[in-house]
Amino acid sequence: MKHLSKLPNVGTTIFSVMSALANEHNAINMSQGFPNFKSDSKLIDLVSQAMNSGFNQYAPMPGNMELREAIAKKMELLYNSTYNPETEITVTAGATQAIYTIISTFIRPNDEVIIFRPAYDCYEPAIEINGGKTISIQLNAPHYKVNWEEVSTHFSSKTKMIIINTPQNPSGSVFTKADMLALQKLTENTNCIVLSDEVYEHIIYDGLEHESACKFPGLKSRSFITASFGKTFHNTGWKVGYCCAPKELMDEFKKVHQFNVFSVNHPTQKALADYLKEPNNYLGLSEFYQTKRDLFLSLIKDSRFKYIPAKGTYFQVLDFSEITKENDVDFAKRLTINHGLAAIPLSVFNDNNKDDKVLRFCFAKTDDTLKKAAEIINNI
Ligand SMILES: Cc1ncc(COP(=O)(O)O)c(C=O)c1O
């Protein structure tokens, strides 16, 4: 049988490649973005309780109501922003599904979607499969700052959507209030939708505040915010997330969601609803990861890698330009095979695989793993 691929340029993701290489060579895996420590046992017990008390059939299509209410309360508490849990919040199978469904709901052939590179890898294939055109704006190491004048030169009536991600994977940079105000101004009086991927909202450092799109009224009215419980509660394998948006946008989203996913794993939703009611379960996350970032960086401060401390996320970018002239993919492979440490080369997230000689290390790891990784890094 012959068929024409709808995604001819998509192969195996770098995450699978590096994780397979890490396994094959028994390397420490700092490549893929998941913690190697356990989720809180209280949360795991809550899932068993939910199963034992009968939450085993379909959840309502937009999600368990208690969970949607808990999400609405969290948005109110953190950002002083009101979302109606009946109509403006949908629980999804991870943020990835929310992102895919948002793009599928609104992007038609030839619509343009602006993304900032280096970009998380699920945006572009979703745009492409729906016939949209990705307009990439390349940000540069080491600060990955947006030049909003440059963005405005790419912005036109064809721009149906802008995707932002703050705190940003893979660079560890964050959007400031000035960035959000510039985006608000750029999109004012247009029909452009903003997809604000905020899966690392609770992981931000050095006293910085997360600038959620919902804090800016002009942005909130055109934005979907996507979030991930996997990132927040150390259980990426559960694949539960959600999105929030004004009712008119969410009504359209739900039309697609109900025939694609319909509803998400119910006992997990019930457990997350109970767990989310206690704000201390997420408010300490920045401090928790900042301690890990600081430990990792203090251990490698005398190495030949250069860095600017990540401002958010659990990823640290390290510059290896003083070590080798190899391209980043080759160096990442050599680091895994010869030295036993896996990381992700940033070029895979860039326009035309631009190589800034930097690798991304996930520091959501036990202190013991971070110490072992630092030993390797210090010997390179
Ligand atoms: C920026 C970003 N968005 C979305 C996701 C996907 O989140 P989930 O695992 O909830 O689908 C990730 C996961 O790595 C991410 O880094």
Q: Annotate 88-118 with DSSP letters as a single string.
A: SEEEESHHHHHHHHHHHHH--TT-EEEEEES
Within 10 angstroms of residue 237's Cβ, the number of other Cβ atoms is 9
95 lines ligand 1 (CB under 6 A): yes
- The identity of residue 168, as a single letter, is Q
Percent residues over pLDDT 70 in the chain:
100
- Residue 372 confidence class, pLDDT cut points 50, 70, 90: very high
Residue 374 has pLDDT above 90, yes or no: yes
Residue 10 has pLDDT above 90, yes or no: no
- Across the chain, mean pLDDT equals 96
Residues 279-289 have a mean pLDDT of: 96
Residue 12: what pLDDT?
83
Residues 219-229 have a mean pLDDT of: 98
Residue 15 has pLDDT above 90, yes or no: no
Residues 187 and 196: beta-carbon distance below 8 Å = no
Residue nearest to atom 14 of ligand 1 (CA): 33
Residues in the chain: 380
168 lines ligand 1 (CB under 6 A): no
229 lines ligand 1 (CB under 6 A): no
Residue 300: what pLDDT?
98
- Residue 1 confidence class, pLDDT cut points 50, 70, 90: confident
342 lines ligand 1 (CB under 6 A): no
Name which of 224, 232, 196, 181 is nearest 35 in CA terms: 232
Residue 29 has pLDDT above 90, yes or no: yes
| 251: enclosing H helix or E strand | helix 247-260
Phi, psi (deg, nearest 5) at residue 136? -95, 135
**CA of 169, closest atom in ligand 1:** 1
CA of 121 to the centre of ligand 1 (A): 9
